[in-house]
């Protein structure tokens, strides 16, 4: 999802167009006959194997050699081979290298016609029974190229993590934002809909140096959300797709899924079928990763045209026939969770599972919050977002009810999409004090995509402070919420607990190395509920893995006077939010947005 689209910047992306066109073979460029202009990547590590990826820029199909070694100089070679970069796959190359040792750091590279790619680093997963003590993951989402620089990716590249978990919206399909920072125009500049256009958009994203560095440094485990195809997509269409003017939805969806497989370092669970990406990856006895597809595989259409309070009484909201995934995937999810013997089950998920309620807020605030979930949901309603699990409440009840009935414990849901940071207990009814949580949810902020402050057109940490307070009071299962910042979540996992750390970058409008820790929350083994976390965890200084980058000593922006509110109920909070919006409007008239 994204906030309201803006008009196209006339003449934007002229400089980027040449790069992207040469990357897709549509325009010749000076230089060597072959190049690895889009870097290297690895993903979906298992104990004995990992997927390696690159793309060859060339005028014809050519063989590409690959090498895996125990050292960065690639002298201690453990595996090697070759593959052909073909036009049928946009000359991307993916190899699933087996015969590797568990929980081991490797370096790799590709070579063609005497030209070598950058050297990448990857790491396999631990084996069953292997005691590794700790695991660390970075969780990211929503990287809109034309909304700013990928500073969060740069910070993750510096961190000590075993893998990067991407919850979706890796690319955005829309036209270039009219307020894109200089040099961040997308290519193609118009919305992408065809196979060639999706390929060009991925090629353009993968020229970003911070994204290339991230992929070259850590393996990635990813799932798609809507913007890899079209905004608010579902199994049979999308709110942003008009078949009368944009063609057949299923052809567009197939093209988007094919290109995702070509450009992302994932292992298809069913070889040759890019439409299925839900899968499970084991990290020894400590973690099982359960990767969902709640977007394209079986999702019912989002509720449309709800008006006012009808959103809470319309029986379609809780209709058991409404689904976020097919019965086949649901059975697979249940089997994966119930059958896991790992200490922790980490669910890589697209959209918010926890309830999100807000009443009594100023219309401007509820409009922005609703657009984070779906532009078709009424402001001033109780359920703000039809695109998240609130719009499919029977599906949420089925999942949480299954965890209770089967006594599946220690499930942590990792969520993206909503352009906000949250920590939630998960329960069917957060207002029932006698119903304990069945799991917890950590929601990662966007890498660059617009937040609430941008949606309101106000400086950060002004009007959002009152809105955050209102959300915490009205949503007792939400223990932490921050609506303004971009960044990532760092997960530190031991047998005793999972701690989430919210790291925020200081800006996305220009390249910057600044970041700060905003909050930590944890779930203890067997607790099924959140508790305050401890200090930021340090890197492990493993062989071949850098220690965590020290946080910049940049403090959080100060809160405006009078912005801290007592928890006195929604009425005073709504009044305070209105005052904060009025104050922010004054500031907005005085401040020119960079």
Q: What is the pLDDT of residues 270-294, one digit of tens each?
A: 999 999 999 999 999 999 999 999 9
- CB burial of 171-193 (b: ≥16 within 10 Å; e: otherwise) equals bbbbbbbebbbeebbbbbbebbb
Residue with tokens 């978990």: 165
Query: Which pLDDT score, from 0 to 100, does residue 369 have?
Result: 61
Query: Which pLDDT score, from 0 to 100, does residue 386 have?
Result: 80
Cα dihedral value 144, 146, 152, 153, nearest 10: 80
Q: Which of 54, 57, 48 is CA-nearest to residue 67?
A: 54
Q: Give me the helix-helix angle, 363-373 and 463-474, nearest 10°.
A: 70
Percent of the chain past pLDDT 90, that is, above it, reads 75
Q: Classify residue 59 by burial, with Cβ atoms within 10 Å: 0-12, 13-18, 19+.
A: exposed
Classify residue 295 by its DSSP letter.
S
Mean pLDDT of all residues in 220-241? 96
Q: What is the pLDDT of residues 138-161, one digit of tens each?
A: 999 999 999 999 999 999 999 999
Q: Classify residue 30 by burial, with Cβ atoms within 10 Å: 0-12, 13-18, 19+.
A: exposed
Note the pTM of the prediction, 2 decimals.
0.86
For the cut 60, the answer to whether the pLDDT of residue 563 exceeds it is no
Q: Classify residue 7 by burial, with Cβ atoms within 10 Å: 0-12, 13-18, 19+.
A: exposed
Q: What is the pLDDT of residues 290-320, one digit of tens each?
A: 999 999 999 999 886 444 333 444 567 788 9
Query: Which pLDDT score, from 0 to 100, does residue 152 have?
Result: 98
| Cα–Cα distance for residue pair 196/68, rounded to 1 Å | 32
Residue 551: φ, ψ to 5°: -65, 145
Least confident among 175-179, 233-237, 345-349: 175-179
- CATH of residue 492's domain is 3.60.21.70
Mean pLDDT of all residues in 454-478? 92
For the cut 60, the answer to whether the pLDDT of residue 85 exceeds it is yes
* Residue 90 domain-assigned (yes or no): no
Mean pLDDT of all residues in 440-458? 94
CB atoms under 10 Å from CB of 10, counted, come to 8
For 191, the 3-state DSSP assignment is: coil
For the cut 50, the answer to whether the pLDDT of residue 554 exceeds it is no
Q: Which of 44, 30, 16 is CA-nearest to residue 164?
A: 44
Mean pLDDT of all residues in 184-206? 98
Query: Which pLDDT score, from 0 to 100, does residue 456 have?
Result: 87
Query: Which pLDDT score, from 0 to 100, does residue 356 have?
Result: 87
Contact criterion met (CB below 8 Å) for 451 and 463: no
Q: What is the pLDDT of residues 483-528, one digit of tens each?
A: 999 999 999 999 999 999 999 999 999 999 999 999 999 999 999 9
* Residue 539 domain-assigned (yes or no): yes
Query: Which pLDDT score, from 0 to 100, does residue 14 have?
Result: 28
Q: How confident is the model at residue 168 (pLDDT cuts 50, 70, 90)?
A: very high
* Residue 585 domain-assigned (yes or no): yes
Q: How confident is the model at residue 364 (pLDDT cuts 50, 70, 90)?
A: low
Query: Which pLDDT score, from 0 to 100, does residue 108 have?
Result: 98
Query: Which pLDDT score, from 0 to 100, does residue 366 have?
Result: 58
| Cα–Cα distance for residue pair 133/64, rounded to 1 Å | 38
* Residue 68 domain-assigned (yes or no): no
Strands 237-238 and 279-283: unpaired
* Residue 151 domain-assigned (yes or no): yes
For the cut 50, the answer to whether the pLDDT of residue 179 exceeds it is yes
- CB burial of 536-557 (b: ≥16 within 10 Å; e: otherwise) equals ebebbebeebeebbeeeeeeee
Domain count within the chain = 1
| Cα–Cα distance for residue pair 121/105, rounded to 1 Å | 7
Q: What is the pLDDT of residues 395-428, one digit of tens each?
A: 999 999 999 999 999 999 999 999 999 999 999 9
Domain that holds residue 534: 14-31+125-590
For the cut 90, the answer to whether the pLDDT of residue 248 exceeds it is yes
Please provide the average confidence, as pLDDT, over all residues in the chain.
85
| Cα–Cα distance for residue pair 171/200, rounded to 1 Å | 11
Residue 357: φ, ψ to 5°: -120, 145
| Cα–Cα distance for residue pair 330/336, rounded to 1 Å | 10
* Residue 533 domain-assigned (yes or no): yes
């Amino acid at each position: 999802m994204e906030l309201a689209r803006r008009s196209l910047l006339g003449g934007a992306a002229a400089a980027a167009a040449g790069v992207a066109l040469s990357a897709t073979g549509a325009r010749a460029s000076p230089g060597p006959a072959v190049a690895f202009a889009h870097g290297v990547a690895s993903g979906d590590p298992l104990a004995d194997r990992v997927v390696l990826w690159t793309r060859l820029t060339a005028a014809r199909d050519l063989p590409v050699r690959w090498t895996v070694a125990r050292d960065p100089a690639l002298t201690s070679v453990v595996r090697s081979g070759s593959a052909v970069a073909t036009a049928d796959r946009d000359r991307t190359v993916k190899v699933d290298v087996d015969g590797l040792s568990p929980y081991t750091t490797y370096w790799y590279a590709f070579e063609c016609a005497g030209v070598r790619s950058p050297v990448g680093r990857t790491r396999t997963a631990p084996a069953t029974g292997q005691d590794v003590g700790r695991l660390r993951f970075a969780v990211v989402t929503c990287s809109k190229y034309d909304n700013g620089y990928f500073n969060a990716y740069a910070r993750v590249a510096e961190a000590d993590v075993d893998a990067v978990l991407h919850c979706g919206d890796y690319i955005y399909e829309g036209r270039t934002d009219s307020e894109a920072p200089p040099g961040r125009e997308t290519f193609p500049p118009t919305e992408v809909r065809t196979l060639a256009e999706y390929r060009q958009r991925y090629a353009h994203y993968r020229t970003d140096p911070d994204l290339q560095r991230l992929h070259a440094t850590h393996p990635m485990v990813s799932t798609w959300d809507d913007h890899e195809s079209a905004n608010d997509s579902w199994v049979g269409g999308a709110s942003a797709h008009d078949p009368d003017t944009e063609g057949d939805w299923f052809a567009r969806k197939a093209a988007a899924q094919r290109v995702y497989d070509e450009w992302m370092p994932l292992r298809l669970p069913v070889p040759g079928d890019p439409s299925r990406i839900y899968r499970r990856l084991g990290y020894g006895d400590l973690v099982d990763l359960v990767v969902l597809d709640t977007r394209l595989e079986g999702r019912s259409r989002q509720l449309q045209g709800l008006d006012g309070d009808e959103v809470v009484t319309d029986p379609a909201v809780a209709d058991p026939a409404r689904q976020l995934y097919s019965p086949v995937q649901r059975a697979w999810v249940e089997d994966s969770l119930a059958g896991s013997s790992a200490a922790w089950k980490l669910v890589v998920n697209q959209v918010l599972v926890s309830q999100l309620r807000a009443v009594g807020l100023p219309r401007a605030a509820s409009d922005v919050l609703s657009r984070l979930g779906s532009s078709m949901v009424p402001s001033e309603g109780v359920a703000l977002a039809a695109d998240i699990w609130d719009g499919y409440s029977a599906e949420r009840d089925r999942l949480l009810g299954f965890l209770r009935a089967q006594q599946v414990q220690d499930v942590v849901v990792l969520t993206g999409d909503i352009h906000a940071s949250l920590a939630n207990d998960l329960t069917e009814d957060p207002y029932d004090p006698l119903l304990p949580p069945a799991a917890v949810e950590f929601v990662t902020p966007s890498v660059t995509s617009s937040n609430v402050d941008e949606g309101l057109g106000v400086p950060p940490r002004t009007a959002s402070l009152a809105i955050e307070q209102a959300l915490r009071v009205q949503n007792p299962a939400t223990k932490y919420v921050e609506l303004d910042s971009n960044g990532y979540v760092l997960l530190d996992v031991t047998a005793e607990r999972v701690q989430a750390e919210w790291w925020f970058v200081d800006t996305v409008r220009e390249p910057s190395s600044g970041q700060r820790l905003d909050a930590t929350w944890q779930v203890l083994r067997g607790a099924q509920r959140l508790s305050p976390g401890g200090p930021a965890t340090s890197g492990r200084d493993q062989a071949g893995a850098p220690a965590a980058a020290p946080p910049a000593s940049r403090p959080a922006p100060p809160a405006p006077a009078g912005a801290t509110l007592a928890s006195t109920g929604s009425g005073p909070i709504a009044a305070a939010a209105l005052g904060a919006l009025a104050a922010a409007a004054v500031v907005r008239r005085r401040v020119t947005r960079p």
